[in-house]
Amino acid sequence: MSHNKSVSGGITGKLFAIGKWFSLFFALLALIAIVFGVVYMLSLGSAFKVPSFDAQARQTMISNMSEQQSNIAQQKEQVKLNAEYGDKIISIISKYGIQDVKTAAIIKILMQLPERYREDFISGWRTYLQEGLAYAKKTGVYQAIGNSDGTPGTADMLTQQYINEFSSAVEAANAEKTKSKIERLVIFSLIISAMIIFILTMILPVLVQIEKNTRGISLPGNIAPAAASEAASLHESAQQAAALCPQCRAPISPGDLFCGSCGADLR
């Protein structure tokens, strides 16, 4: 019982020592926060400052240059997309009689899309028009050109509908990608937590056993009861063997020189 108490006391002492270091750490953080707060309060003064060509002015100048460079980059991107997709876009517009949607509008949409979706947009647009126009002609609602009331032709209506649906699909894919990242992060955190718990559950019994063994060795005169009992039994057996005649095993007294039963010499 006292041994278990000593083990518990050792673990409790370690926990108190860890708690002490944590307390010192948080006290240090609080002291740093107080120092920074005092320094910040002392540095507060008038907000007025005469403008000068400082880092902020240089940053503004760089930002304006970046905006100009961005416009140049967009123009280069537009030229590149025209070269890559211009013929395909013109072919679709002319083949299906699209009137309201122009090539420049499609190029602008492609510029806003990630590069991996651009080819899918063009191929999907063509298939969407084929299926949509075939269905419109089959059901008798096909209109080659728009009405005077502003209703677009069937091809233009299908194109606008496709653009909206494609945009929604891209947004849904991005949302799903973000959701997958969060799920992977949560699962990874759970795996790390489980590994930490597993390691602690494997190490803690070993530490407790080491603590027990260390305390058992350090206590003076700590002899196992089984060892003491064995030593007493051996001593008693030796005494009993000395009280018998070695030849006939008859009882003898400690001072006898000869056995009273067989006459054996006991000296």
Residues of the chain with pLDDT > 70, as a percent, come to 70
Tell me the CA distances in angstroms from 221 to 4, 224, 265, one per residue in order.
18, 10, 43
Helix (H, G, I), strand (E, B) or coil at 216: helix
Pick the residue with more confidence: 263 or 45? Answer: 263
The span from the CA of 252 to the CA of 67, in Å, is 120
Average pLDDT (82-86) is: 90
193-252: pLDDT as tens digits: 777 877 777 777 777 777 777 776 554 444 445 555 665 565 565 555 557 777 787 777
Q: Which residues of 60-97 are buried (b: 16+ CB within 10 A; e: fewer)?
A: eeeeeeeeeeeeeeeeeeeeebeeebeeebeebbeebe
pTM of the model: 0.48
Pick the residue with more confidence: 128 or 245? Answer: 128
**Structure confidence at residue 130 (pLDDT):** 92
**Which stretch of 2-16, 143-157, 163-177 has the lowest confidence by average pLDDT?**
2-16
- How many other CB atoms are found less than 10 A from the CB of residue 22? 10
Contacts of residue 31, Cβ cutoff 8 Å, sequence gap at least 6 = none
Q: What is the DSSP string of 83-97?
A: HHHHHHHHHHHHHHT
Average pLDDT (41-45) is: 64
Q: What is the DSSP string of 23-92?
A: HHHHHHHHHHHHHHHHHHHHH---------SSHHHHHHHHHHHHHHHHHHHHHHHHHHHHHHHHHHHHHH
Helix (H, G, I), strand (E, B) or coil at 221: coil
State yes or no: pLDDT of 19 exceeds 70. no
Tell me the CA distances in angstroms from 171 to 122, 166, 200, one per residue in order.
18, 9, 44
